[in-house]
Structure 1
């Protein structure tokens, strides 16, 4: 009798955690993994958008910072963390 009561109490909690995992945690992990792979694959000439909304072109990818060109005259370094996405051709 006691065993059935514990199972009945824990079952909704287990189901809730499973739903939370598949709807929130797992997609977030997949997105973070894809973003990390995109950052590691950056090469010279790739066009990207920063978190600040700037559209730029990669001049030289580095370990922690990426040298980018905003226009013909402005070349800056940005931290890899601030790359939002890569623009496809």
Structure 2
């Protein structure tokens, strides 16, 4: 009985450590990145827009992309905080 279930259990354990565990770690790092956004940070969005954070709300940020040009974006659209992303990844 145990002999026939052992390969199946081994596959589940390998699946957990190769797929699920790294994905959970990436999600935590992403959440930490989004929570660390502060006013004045220079950010890059998923669409490639680069700008400076002018205001922060719960799920949205106000991004200054040029002189007198501000756009409101979802906080989740931020993929990188310039100069800080490398420091967060090393923690």
TM-score band, normalised by shorter chain: 0.7 to 0.9
In structure 1, runs of 5+ residues without a counterpart are 1-5
Q: Which among 79, 83, 91 is matched to residue 88 of structure 1?
A: 83
TM-score w.r.t. structure 2 length? 0.83
The answer for the alignment partner of 1:55 in structure 2 is 50
Q: Which runs of 4+ in 1 moved over 6 A?
A: none
Q: Which structure 2 segments of 5+ residues have no match?
A: 85-91
For residues 1-89 of structure 1, the aligned pairs below 5 Å read 6-88=1-83
Q: Residue by residue, what CA displacement relative to the aligned partner does 1:63-82 show, whole Å, maximum 9, x if unpaired?
A: 01101111122101101121
Give 1 or 2 for the bigger CA radius of gyration: 1
TM-score by length of 1: 0.85
- RMSD, aligned CA: 1.3
Give per-residue Cα distances to partners, 1:15-54, cap 9 Å, x unaligned: 1111111111111111111111111111111111111111
Count residues in correspondence: 84
